[in-house]
Amino acid sequence: MKLKILLFIIFPAVINAQNELNLNVGEIKQKKYHVAFDFENVNGRIIIAVNVNDRVKKFLLDTGAPTSFHENMLKEINYKTVIQNSQGIDANGASGAFDIIQIPEFSIQDITFLNNYALKIVGDLDFECLNLDGVIGSNSLRDSVVEFDFKAGKVTISSDFNTFGYGEVNENELIFKDFQSTPILKINMKLGYLNYNEEVIFDTGDNSFYSISINNLNQLLTLINENKIPKELQNISHSDLLGIISSSNGSFSSGLFGVETVSNHYKFKIQDFTVGSSVFDNMIATTTYGSNSRVGSEILNYGKLILDYKREKYYFIAYDNHKEIYVNHKFKSIYPSFEKDKFIVGIVWDEKLKDKIKIGDEIIKVNDIDFKNLSKCQIIGISFDAFKIFDVLKVELKDKDTDEIKIVEIQN
């Protein structure tokens, strides 16, 4: 069991707009290009340098989001033009309003982007914590081929897949269904006793491996309740049938329109998770209240992934040509969250801890790390990897109802 200290933050992803707004506007100045560049890996998030008005800025490269510019940077470059105000839904399913702007020019290395549509981001603390000025999203990448190589610490953006020199490599269909060119992969897995096929967003703004949409889970439950599954499986309990290993009320992620509301979440054990020709085993996944299931950037620890937006193909090339990959996810007994600026328990997964730890208890200390005097940004930057060396985690909490200080030991 493990306490996850790093918040599971989902950056802006307007998956559904409430009108017919098209964000696929703009072009790339160069007709032929092939540019490889370094990136900063911040807990699985890809931070790159972007030139805007001769100023080098820090942007998140997020395939699950549209290109976005923070209001502070727009003030700095004195840019005010608003194309349209619209309503949308973020990665957690929360709705809100946002402004669409058009950026005359920005560049990544020697690639120049002209007249791209972007969202205006207002007052997002997660941006401030990572010193981000914006997001480069799929609507700006839609005419390119993008390779993610975590092992080399490189991202490559090219006008032509052939310039990578891979020769014959297994290709897979890349699907687009929305107004911002969000890439969708077809995957299949063994979910409990069920063989399950699904279309998932590839979202580098999400640093997990896989999250299953509650919408898709409900569709599965409907099929089960209507006995539209093999007869030999119809008498198996829902939990066993779907590989559910835990459930809890709570919240643990943040999107464009704030921290998700407290909801019922499930944790799954997944086998035979197939991406391209690679099979991943021993994964643990949780539900998301966004509209779509997601594969996040954790998969990039195991191989290169190339998105050929132009030809609607994707390629996954496992490091060392491994076809079967053992992921070895740990259970993680609790997930933290924030209530305003208070660091709290967001979800308790372990049934044996639910009489000792409440959702909403304030996290004061974990082993020797004292959170009382740390800012929200400092807490967000602490990775749970720091606790791997300990067999037992001693967690000091303030009870949400009584303000009593209590210490709970968690086997690590």
pLDDT in tens, 304-319: 999 999 999 999 999 9
* Residue % of the chain over a pLDDT of 70: 86
> How confident is the model at residue 17, as a pLDDT?
47
Contact 267, 349 (CB under 8 A): yes
Tokens of 84: 């349209």
Burial class (CB in 10 A: 0-12, 13-18, 19+), 343: buried
- Tracing tokens 């807990």 back to the chain, one arrives at 43
Residues 6 or more apart whose CB falls under 8 angstroms from that of 42 comprise 130
Question: pLDDT value at position 388?
Answer: 61
End-to-end CA distance of the chain: 5
Measured CA to CA, the distance from residue 27 to residue 385 in angstroms comes to 41
At residue 155, the pLDDT reads 98
Please give the full DSSP string across 229-287, using - where no structure is assigned: S-GGGTTS-HHHHHTEEEEEEE--EEETTEEPPPEEEEEEEEEEEEETTEEEESEEEEE
Task: Please say if the pLDDT value at position 16 is more than 80.
Answer: no
Q: How far apart are CA 395 and CA 363, in angstroms?
A: 7
- Give exposure, 233-263, as e/b (b: 16+ Cβ within 10 Å): eeeeeeeebbbbebebebbbbbbbbebbeeb
Strands 145-149 and 40-42, bridge-based pairing:
unpaired
Residue 2: what pLDDT?
A: 34
pLDDT at residue 250 in the model: 64
pLDDT value at residue 237? 92
Q: In this predicted model, what pLDDT tens digit does every residue of 30-45 receive, in sequence order?
A: 999 999 999 999 889 9
Would the CA dihedral through 223, 224, 228, 230 be positive or negative? positive
pLDDT digits (tens, 9 = 90+) for 257-312: 344 455 788 999 999 999 999 999 989 999 988 788 999 999 999 999 999 999 99
Contact present, 51 and 35 (Cβ < 8 Å): no
Q: Which two tokens stand for residue 251?
A: 């919240």
Mark out the alpha helices in 312-370 (DSSP H runs). none
Q: How confident is the model at residue 88 (pLDDT cuts 50, 70, 90)?
A: low
Q: Per-residue pLDDT for 93 more than 90?
A: no
Element (H, E) at 222: helix 214-225
Distance of CA 34 to the CA centre of its chain: 27
Q: Which of 61, 56, 119, 115 is nearest to 87 (CA)?
A: 119
- The number of CA neighbours under 13 Å toward the Cβ of 147 is 25
Tens digit of each residue's pLDDT (9 = 90 or more) over 360-373: 999 999 988 899 88
pLDDT digits (tens, 9 = 90+) for 162-182: 999 998 889 999 999 988 999
Least Cα distance to 364 among 394, 397, 409, 322 occurs for 397
User: What pLDDT does 46 receive?
Assistant: 96
Specify the pTM: 0.87
> CA 409, CA 177: separation in Å to the nearest integer?
47
Domains of the chain, start order = 9-164 (2.40.70.10), 172-298+318-326 (2.40.70.10), 334-411 (2.30.42)
pLDDT value for 255: 44
Quote the CA–CA distance of 51 and 105 in Å, as a whole number.
Answer: 9
d(CA 20, CA 89): 14
Confidence of residue 11 (pLDDT cuts 50, 70, 90): very low
Lookup result for tokens 């790093």 = 6
